[in-house]
Structure 1
């Protein structure tokens, strides 16, 4: 699951990486939803992260784009496979 904002370049990089890895994922564009601000507040309470993208794989908080990019060649493929996202 990617919590995103449609205009955010880091969110775009995250979604591109996941698409390039043929991952199956949902995107919630916070700026396109009427309750986006409330969702972002709740995400901050859950993950201690206010910024987007806010990425979860298999219900585990991964972090943002830099966190995801850092896992690209190491743990990310296995995490996606384990979460049945590939």
Structure 2
């Protein structure tokens, strides 16, 4: 339960939240795209924290997505890297709406 609360707290308190793993190439692509767009996401590297596996389990329960990156913009679940890359044309507006840029 603590992991779910922590994940929800991160989502609620950040315009852009990315749950990531430091070695994941899709996570790197996501972080790069968000950076290029001018966003400063809150990034949680699940492989570098003690409760990372529990948070990943909680995110799966919340979003039905187990894979990383698990991306939220404006408290809305975007999906993973493929979904984010597919929204390149709308990304600037999504970030503005979320007050992330």
Stretches of structure 2 lacking an aligned partner (at least 5 in a row): 1-16
TM-score (norm 2): 0.83
Q: What is residue 43 of structure 2 aligned with on the other side?
A: 27
1:39 to 24, 48, 55: 55
1:5 to 10, 18, 21: 21
Provide the C-alpha distance between the structure 1 equivalents of 2:73 and 2:63, rounded to a whole number of angstroms.
13
Higher helix share: 2
Q: Following superposition of structure 1 onto structure 2, how do residues 1-86 of structure 1 map, counting pairs within 5 Å?
A: 1-73=17-89, 75-86=90-101
TM-score (norm 1): 0.97
Give aligned pairs, total.
85
Q: 4+ residue runs of structure 1 moved beyond 3 angstroms?
A: none
Provide the C-alpha distance between the structure 1 equivalents of 2:96 and 2:49, rounded to a whole number of angstroms.
30
Provide the C-alpha distance between the structure 2 equivalents of 1:40 and 1:24, rounded to a whole number of angstroms.
22
Q: What is the CA distance between 1:25 and its match in structure 2? A: 1.0
Stretches of structure 1 lacking an aligned partner (at least 5 in a row): none
Q: What RMSD in Å do the two structures reach over aligned CA positions?
A: 0.5
Provide the C-alpha distance between the structure 2 equivalents of 1:45 and 1:76, rounded to a whole number of angstroms.
26
